[in-house]
Amino acid sequence: MPAADPSAIRILAEVVANCCEGGAHHRLTLRVPGWPGFAPGQFVMLSPGPVGAVPRSDPLLPRPMAVFREHADERGPCLEVLYKRSGRGTHLLAAAVAGESIALVGPLGSGFRAPSAPGAALLVAGGTGIASVFELARTLADERAVSVLLGARRAEDLMGEADFAELHVNLEIATEDGSRGTRGLVTDLLEKRLAAEPGATVYACGPTPMMQRCVEIAAAHGAACSVSLENNMACGFGVCLGCAAPRTSGGFALVCCDGPVFDGRDIVWSQLP
């Protein structure tokens, strides 16, 4: 991972593909000329809908999306985003067809840092947070043992499982209804693995209660735990001050530029919205 994360560009990206992968899950591939690369954990702001002289006004805000991974084809750099069709913004995103333009600002935020300790890495992800940790898993797997623990309510709520299966990682899955993998919470899987690998470093991205629990479990085992917060954002680059998260040391951090990755102990979890 590079010392400094690549800085942002704004560009009209071309939709290469935008496929439904079952249920509400979609995979968007964008061609992004001039894409500077990204650090695992960085994200982009996407504005689907009309671009140009009269821009879209409703829904107004762009949507932050983790960069799932990147590749290059004969026409240049492309990146992939996994998303769940849930609100108005993601419905609009799902309607974008190949050849259309989507305004993109990114890569944004400061990403994950490699573990300072030599041990294994345990990546815990749930919901759309799964997309944030794929590139982290891939890069860390080159240098150390990596376990990826994915959680979802039901089997059909899991996204990107097949992609993780192709990595050199130990993949474990928990669903609340037991329809895939172990029945129960993904944080239970973390408890077990951390007991087996005491020197491990924990990374977590997903629903707030899941991340909070991961931070508690890691602390109980004396392990470091980085989290990637998913916040509402208006700008994504530190100027609207809308994405504030309360800091343990007082005041607020900006999730879009101080994060989205934080040391789990630096966040006042009880005061998160």
By the rule CB under 6 A, 184 interacts with ligand FES: no
Backbone angles phi, psi at 111, to 5 degrees: -90, -165
By the rule CB under 6 A, 234 interacts with ligand FES: yes
By the rule CB under 8 A, 62 interacts with other proteins: yes
By the rule CB under 8 A, 6 interacts with other proteins: no
Residue (of 158, 208, 212) closest to 182 by Cα position: 158
Window contacting other proteins (CB under 8 A); options: 93-101, 117-125, 186-194, 231-239: 231-239
Residue (of 144, 192, 154) closest to 172 by Cα position: 192
3-state helix, strand, coil in the chain (%, to 5): 20, 35, 45
Q: In 3-state terms, what secondary structure has residue 67? A: coil
Window contacting other proteins (CB under 8 A); options: 5-13, 92-100, 120-128, 183-191: 5-13
- Whether 146 and 120 have beta carbons less than 8 Å apart is answered as yes
Answer for which of 105, 254, 261, 267 binds ligand FES (CB under 6 A) is: 254
Answer for which of 96, 158, 189, 245 binds other proteins (CB under 8 A) is: 245
Reading the block at residue 27, the tokens are: 């995979």
H-helix or E-strand spanning residue 58: none
Window contacting other proteins (CB under 8 A); options: 118-126, 188-196, 242-250, 259-267: 242-250
Answer for which of 19, 20, 165, 240 binds ligand FES (CB under 6 A) is: 240
- Whether 54 and 68 have beta carbons less than 8 Å apart is answered as no
By the rule CB under 6 A, 253 interacts with ligand FES: no
Task: For CA atoms 206, 209, 215, 216, give the dihedral sign.
Answer: negative
Reading the block at residue 40, the tokens are: 């695992």
* Distance in angstroms (rounded) separating the CA atoms of residues 271 and 95: 35
Answer for which of 137, 235, 245, 261 binds ligand FES (CB under 6 A) is: 235
Q: In 3-state terms, what secondary structure has residue 240? A: coil
By the rule CB under 8 A, 105 interacts with other proteins: yes
The residue (of 39 and 243) whose beta carbon lies closer to other proteins is: 243
Q: How far is CA 18 from the centre of its chain?
A: 18
Answer for which of 3, 4, 53, 97 binds other proteins (CB under 8 A) is: 53
By the rule CB under 8 A, 249 interacts with other proteins: no
The site for ligand FES (CB under 6 A) is made up of: 233-236, 238-243, 254, 256
The site for other proteins (CB under 8 A) is made up of: 7-10, 47, 53-55, 57-62, 103, 105, 231-232, 234-235, 237-246, 251-252, 271-273
